[in-house]
């Protein structure tokens, strides 16, 4: 072992007893293309805008975007264990389910997967924010209501906050969507964040410097 001067040794000893800087609490967004910046320039989606708002309002959180275009509740549930182990989030935002409807996945399967995601997140000591969706009206009003009711039921049963509809305020405005009329434009991303923020903010707890 190399010798050190008295001054150097003292400095090393002081450094050894300094507590490590606390890691930022993490938010994970477990989502699909609506959160994965599908068709958008990099770093222009609502999840990145969330990072910017957290910094602006001085909430000390990092944001991990674990969203994959085309993902279903089954896909999200399957990869969640690894996400929780790697990131150890304080908050998990769940934005999944639309692709289940588009693919004709039974509602019972979608509900089971979402419940599993909530349960696993809570077991990992993370708070959960559930984001609800409506499906296009061509599915019929009965299915549309039953689909959305899945989110309401889980939120009530699991006592987790619910954003009723990520696309609220823009669903009837074609100009807010890309040419596929499914994915919101860059200009629409601030509205998506505004739909999420009021429900997310109470979960952030202490950390904002006033």
Which residues are known catalytic residues?
Answer: 33, 180, 183
CA dihedral in degrees (36, 40, 41, 42; nearest 10)? Answer: 0
Dihedral sign for Cα atoms in the order 197, 201, 207, 210: positive
Q: How many CA atoms lie within 13 A of 105 on its CB side?
A: 22
Edge-first strand order for the sheet with 61-65 is 61-65, 25-31, 91-95, 127-131, 162-163
* Residues 6 or more apart whose Cβ sits within 8 Å of residue 121: 80, 84, 89, 92, 94, 128
End-to-end CA distance of the chain: 49
User: Cα(185)–Cα(204) distance, rounded to whole angstroms?
Assistant: 28
* Residues 6 or more apart whose Cβ sits within 8 Å of residue 157: 115
φ, ψ at 15 (rounded to 5°): -65, -35
């Amino acid at each position: 072992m190399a010798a050190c001067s008295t001054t150097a040794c003292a400095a090393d000893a002081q450094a050894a007893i300094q507590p490590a800087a606390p890691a930022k609490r993490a938010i994970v967004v477990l989502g699909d293309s609506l959160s994965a910046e599908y068709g958008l320039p990099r770093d222009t989606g609502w999840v990145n805008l969330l990072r910017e708002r957290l910094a602006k309002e001085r909430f000390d959180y990092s944001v991990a975007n674990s969203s994959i275009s085309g993902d279903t509740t089954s896909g999200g549930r399957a990869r969640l264990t690894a996400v929780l182990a790697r990131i150890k989030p304080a908050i998990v935002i769940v934005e999944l389910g639309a692709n289940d409807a588009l693919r004709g996945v039974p509602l019972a399967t979608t509900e089971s997967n979402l419940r599993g995601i909530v349960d696993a997140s809570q077991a990992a000591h993370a708070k959960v924010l559930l984001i609800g969706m409506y499906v296009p009206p061509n599915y019929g009003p009965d299915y549309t209501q039953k689909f959305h009711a899945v989110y309401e039921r889980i939120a009530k049963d699991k006592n987790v906050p619910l954003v009723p509809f990520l696309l609220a305020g823009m669903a009837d405005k074609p100009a807010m969507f890309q040419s596929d009329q499914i994915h919101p434009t860059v200009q629409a991303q601030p509205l998506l964040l505004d739909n999420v923020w009021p429900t997310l903010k109470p979960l952030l707890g202490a950390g904002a410097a006033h």
